Amino acid sequence: MGGSDDPPEGTPEGAPGGGDDEYRSVVFDESFIRAARLQEYSAEERVTDHAPAVRRRPRRRRGLPHQALILVMLVAVAFGTAIYMGVRHPYQGPAAQRLGEPARLNVVPLAPRHPVPGADDPDRLYAHSPAARFRTGADGITLPGGRRTAHFSDDQVLSALAIAKDYIVRSSLEPDVLTGGPVRTVRVLLDPDQHDQFDRGFSHPAADGRNTPTGWLVRFDPGHARLADDQTRVQGHLTLTESDSSTLEVTADHTLVYALRPADDPHGKVSLFTVRRELLFRFDRDDLRLHHTRLVTSSVRAGPLSCAENPANHLRPLLAGQTPKDGAPADTDPYTPDGVTHLCGTLADRAQPTGG
């Protein structure tokens, strides 16, 4: 009999002796079999389905190479880190730092040398004052032609100018605001970043350049003076510049003249009160879209006022016939751009009505 490696019938005739020796080095292990592209059907499958003897096995899908997978993960981590640092990094650019600054508010009272002129009729006082040719109310706040800038469209420029005008109207012409009423109509125009400063000023007013309500808006002490009419005279201008690729700035320079009577005497003499407001507004694209603005600086000169009065919270004008007990050494005319006199100034005689 043949050995355990020989067929039961022995080695066929004509076959070379030891025929298995030439294939002995080939090992058909499990991985080799799984990788075969062709697979033989079983006898039962061939009889039942009349299938061919072999079938093609589907190609096995291979995942990304290990090195490619690591590279993709590294790119994703780097991209996420860049986004995070761009949002959270404390070292922001100059424009972002400027937008976060608190508003600087400066209010200077102007004291007259002589008794305040008065009359029964506001129109008579206006006619004999430098405000004789001023326009009335919001008509005095004219918009320049809106021209696109390097990085902002015509519509964005016009929007910035319109928001600035809206702020001036609400903060210096609305009767409710002028007489010490609610100030929400002004507050809603400010960027939310400035709401805390605005609210803090009205809850704890101070002449410190930060918490000064009369820097945000014009309002009279309702227990001291009242409006003689609502025909406030206004003159001034708006100018717009692009400070950088993401920011517009609007400068407003207006003189407003109010006719006032004593709060406790509806038939008392009328006197004029003049306020010169120079405001700087700043806008980014979100402000333009949401109809907000940031008040950067507010420089106000107002009179006739007594230098002894603190104008931070309310304005308490000197009314017809009144004279201040104190003054300042130099004339300041709110009708001309002389620059701001700090602490207190003297209201120039030429700024008052004559022949009333």
- Contact in structure between 171 and 217 (CB atoms under 8 Å): yes
Contact at 8 Å (CB) between 226 and 260? yes
**19-59 residue pLDDT tens:** 555 555 555 556 555 655 555 656 666 665 555 555 565 55
pLDDT digits (tens, 9 = 90+) for 299-345: 999 999 998 888 999 999 999 999 887 654 455 666 665 544 447 88
Residues 6+ apart with CB under 8 A from 132: 126
pLDDT band at residue 152, thresholds of 50, 70 and 90? very high
First to last CA, the chain: 148
Rounded to an integer, what distance in angstroms lies between the CA atom of residue 150 and that of residue 158? 15
12-16, 163-167, 191-195, 249-253: the lowest-pLDDT one: 12-16
Between strands 331-332 and 345-347, the pairing is parallel
Question: Per-residue pLDDT tens for 60-99?
Answer: 555 556 677 777 777 777 777 666 555 444 444 444 445 5
Q: What is the spatial distance between Cα 162 and Cα 159, in angstroms, rounded to a whole number?
A: 5
Q: Is the pLDDT of residue 6 over 70?
A: no
111 φ, ψ (degrees, to nearest 5): -100, 135
Residue 347: phi and psi, rounded to 5, are -75, 120
Evaluate if residue 261 carries a pLDDT over 90: yes
* Amino acid residing at 89: H
Non-local (6+) Cβ contacts of 139 within 8 A are 234
Rank 11-25, 35-49, 219-233 by mean pLDDT and report only the highest. 219-233
Instruction: Give DSSP secondary structure letters for 207-239.
Output: SSSSS-HHHHS--B-TTTEEES-S--EEEEEEE
What is the arithmetic mean of pLDDT over 168-179? 97
Kindly report the average pLDDT of the chain as a whole number: 82
Task: Report how far residue 119's alpha carbon sits from residue 93's, in angstroms, rounded to the nearest whole number.
Answer: 56
Residue 226's pLDDT band (boundaries 50, 70, 90)? very high
Q: Tokens in use for 278? A: 């120079």
Percentage of residues in the chain having pLDDT higher than 70: 70
Burial category of 79 from C-beta neighbours within 10 Å (exposed 0-12, middle 13-18, buried 19 and up) = exposed
* DSSP codes, 98-122: HHTSPPEEEEEEEEESSPPP-BS-H
One-letter-per-residue 3-state SS of 149-193: CCCCCHHHHHHHHHHHHHHHHHHHCCHHHHCCCCCHHHHCCECHH
